[in-house]
Each structure stands twice: as C-alpha cells, then as structure tokens.
Amino acid sequence: MANQTLFLGIDCGTQGTKAIVLDSVSGKVLGQGAAVHSMISGANGRREQDTDQWLGALMLSTRRALQDANVSGQDILGIGVSSQQHGLVLLGDEGQVLRPAKLWCDTESTPENDRLLAHLGGERGSLERLGVVIAPGYTVSKLLWTKEQHPEVFAEIATILLPHDYLNYWLTGRRCTEYGDASGTGYFNVRSREWDVSLLNHIDPGGRLVAALPQLIEARTPAGTLLPEIAVLLDLNPNALVSSGGGDNMMGAIGTGNIQPGAITMSLGSSGTVYAYDEQPHVSPDASVATFCSSSGGWLPLICTMNLTNATGVIRELLELDIERFNALVAEAPIGAEGVCMLPFLNGERVPALPHATGSLLGLTMTNLTQANLCRAVVEGTTFGLRYGLDLLRNNGLQSRSIRLIGGGSKSPMWRQMVADVMNTPVVCTEQSEAAALGAAIQAAWCESGVTGTGQSLLELCERCVSLDPASETLPVAASVAAYQQVYERYQQHVATL
C-alpha cells in the first residue's frame, strides 16, 4: 500500500448516493459504490426525502466503494461530501431531525417565495441585495413555509442545515457550512459572503433562525474529523479528515477541473446545469443566472433547467422504449424533427424563467407525428433550454472555449454531437462520469494537504485526478450548426408566446 494516498468522495443526490475511492498520487479512481433513495411526492409540488435514507445509502455506497477498490477503510486519509443543493434539514436541541428534508425540486413553497421576493423589491431588489434572485427551490421560502404550515416544528428549530451540511454533521458532530452551498439558500449575500441576518429576522423577528445558522467556513477548511462511533460504524480511519464539502454543482466543477476561467461544465442529468468559473462576483442583470460562490475560492455563475433526462424519460416510458431504441429513433429523425417542436417544461421551468409553464407539442401534422420525431423533439427541446442558458452566460462575458459534459445524457454519442452543434462549441466528457463525487474526493485531498502542510494546490490535484476522455471529443459540424440555428430560433419564438 506504499505511496498510495486514499480519499473518499461521496455524492448524495436526489435519486441515490455515489461513493468513490481516489488515489490522489496516481490520480486514479480505484473503486466505486452506489445506493438508491426514494422520494416523498405530493400533487401540490411536494418533493421531500427521509434523511435516514441518506445515512443508509452513505454507509452502503461507502462499503461497496471500499470493496470495489479492495482497500481498507483504515487507509482513508480524508472524506469529502457533495450533495444536492437548496434542501432544508431542520434539527432540534438534541440534534434530532425534526421532519423530512424539503428538496431543491420542491415547489410547495412557491407562494411563500413570491411573498419574500416582493419583500425584497422583486427580482431587481433581490439581485441588488443578495446577488441572486430567490427561486421557489431555494431554502429561504422553505423556512417561511415551515413557520406557516408546521408552527410546532418551527418552534423546535435549533439548527438549519443544507443536505451536505447535515451529512458532515452526522460524520463529525460539527454544524458548519461552506460558501458555495450557502449561496443557494437565498439568505446569503454572494458578494460579501455573509448571511443576510435581516431577511431571516423578517421571517422570524424572535431571532430563532439567526441563532440556528451554522458557522461559515472556507472551502479548504476541514469540517472536522470523524466521530469515534462513526469511524467504527463505517470501518474508516478514526483520524480521517472531513473536508468542507459543498453542493453538487460546486463539487462537479472541481471534478471536471473547472476551477479557472475558460472551461464550461454542462451536466445532462434529471435537470440540466451549465456553469463556469469566475474570479470575481460579476452578478448578471439576468435573473436566471445564479452567481454562486464556488467551493474552490472563486465564483460559479450557473444556470439550471428543470427538465432534462426526466423529460426524455417520460417520452421513453410513454412509447415503451429502452435507451438503445430511443437513441436509434432520435438518430432516424432529421434535425428539426420535420417541424415537431417540444417545449419540455413538464416541471415548470427555471431557464427560460417560466415557473408555471407546462409542456407542449407544436407543429404537428398528419405526416410528421412519428415516434422518431417525438423522440428527437424532446432531446432537441431540452438541449435548446441549455443553449438559452449558455447564451445568458456568454452575454455575461464568460468565454466558452470548450464544454466538459457530465451526467447520464453525456454517455450518448448522438446527444454529445447535438450539444456540440447546438452550442457551436467542442465537447468532451471527463473519464470519471461521477464528477461531483470525484470533486469531493479531490477537495478532501486539497484540504488534507493544507492541514498537513504538503501544500498541494487544487490546480495540481485537478490536473492529476481529472482526465478527459479523448474518444468522447466531439466537434461541431458546420452544416448542422446552421441547421440547428434555424430550429433554435423557431424554439425561441414558441417560448416568446408563453
């Protein structure tokens, strides 16, 4: 085991938890493990999870990753935790979880968000004050919702945590958070990197919420070491450091090497995200661009679409197609799907900003309503949403020399080519598709080197541990770029009518 320096990266997402074991000396991922979660859903937009599921999945995925790597947990020097952003975990005096966690995709608190946004002076007021425009998915409206819908729970709040903060708390016993994930709460100022205390006091003048805030720590600062009983439970080195961790987008940025200007990361997951690195908080005047802090010391301007592989999945289920047959049908149809256009806003939409929109199919005729055109239209429609977002980032002055593609959709060569053509930018995948778990492990190595004084920079670690997959490199094709541009303009006209 000599000259191996092992770190564990954990990513707790909406659908499950992934764990990887990284050797930071060779830069290789030695093993991986996964475990699934289920969701509590309601017709009113409720999307919640039982936090005990996260703990069970963390234990199981860690055990599987260590087995897959064929290494001892006693050799793990550090652990990094990534998790879905914006979720609300409330703890009582004894550290007990008071109710299921409300998630990023929960829209039940939309009326509360509307009232808080009005209090801030609308989108412009929110941008000026916080540097972001609060959206229904953000944590802040979930607090007001809890106060109004569950006053008995609200009265017991002793600590407010985000999902990754809660996992760090379970591992270390420390209640802290890091600037990147804090950026998505809606009660944090991304320019000054401080909590907006007066907004929380507006929700609860008694000061309960302000007293319940976790401590803010820098990205390279450890959250702590493992609690002795947790080290035994997970069979891990009791001296393993737990890094600050962060939100899945911040960790995905590290895991794709997106820690300096020029690269753009695009994730084709259930939802779609596009983000880039910036050294300064250049807050966009466009409400759809979230200028979050990064978990590497800078800023991470980001756009998020609510409908991506969740929308393509609905069409696949409707037509009873497996993924291979679905991709084959998409490839059969021409660019533009013979005039069939799908606005895939099945979850409402954040980019373009249409929270109350529903999905629609346009341009249907007796001859073009085919399975192939339907399949192609949903993939084109979701990809155009990402183009819309990328254009917003470009308008904000961000360069996009290349796109690093991650997420389930990136495994499809057909989709990679579509992204390259629609964005008119070269596309490449990272070899490790679990970018957030990898980013968490890299951050843990960076954190550990800061504590031990070995002084490795984050850039050195990313250069060693993030490798691009040359076989996936996809260049735009001029004729297709021109054809997609016409179809994209048609999509924009349809969006404008909404």
Q: CA-to-CA distance for 161 and 179, rounded, in angstroms?
A: 13
User: What counts of helices (H) and strands (E) characterise the chain?
Assistant: 18, 24
Tokens at 435, concatenated: 């970018």
Task: Report how far Cα 403 is from the mean position of its chain's Cα atoms.
Answer: 17
Q: CA-to-CA distance for 131 and 129, rounded, in angstroms?
A: 6
Q: What are the angstrom distances between the C-alpha of 191 and each of 195, 281, 287?
A: 11, 6, 16
Taking each helix axis as running N to C, give the angle between helix 51-69 and helix 163-172, from 0 to 180 degrees, rounded to the nearest 10.
70
Q: Is 165 a catalytic residue?
A: no
**CA R_g for the chain:** 22
Q: CA-to-CA distance for 317 and 328, rounded, in angstroms?
A: 15
Q: Exposure of 81 by Cβ count < 10 A (0-12 exposed, 13-18 middle, 19+ buried)?
A: buried
Instruction: List, in order, residues 6 or more apart from 401 with CB less than 8 Å away.
Output: 262, 263, 425, 426
C-alpha torsion sign, points 359, 365, 369, 374: negative
Instruction: List, in order, residues 6 or more apart from 394 with CB less than 8 Å away.
Output: 400
Q: CA-to-CA distance for 177 and 459, rounded, in angstroms?
A: 23
Q: Token match 């779609």: residue?
A: 272
Q: CA-to-CA distance for 429 and 410, rounded, in angstroms?
A: 7
344 contacts 385 by C-beta, under 8 angstroms: yes
103 contacts 14 by C-beta, under 8 angstroms: yes
Tokens at 201, concatenated: 């006091």
Degrees to nearest 5, angle at CA 305 with 177 and 348:
110
Q: What are the angstrom distances between the C-alpha of 75 and each of 67, 71, 442?
A: 13, 7, 16
162 contacts 103 by C-beta, under 8 angstroms: no
DSSP element (H, E) containing 235: none
Q: What are the angstrom distances between the C-alpha of 310 and each of 163, 233, 274, 318, 374?
A: 22, 35, 17, 12, 15
With CA atoms as reference, report the closest residue to 443 among 263, 252, 300: 252
Q: What are the angstrom distances between the C-alpha of 279 and each of 192, 244, 292, 367, 416?
A: 14, 20, 12, 52, 29
Beta bridge partners of 21: 8, 31
Which candidate in 23, 196, 248, 286 is catalytic? 248
DSSP codes, 421-459: HHHTS-EEEBS-S-HHHHHHHHHHHHHHHHHHT----HH
The residues carrying an active-site annotation are: 248
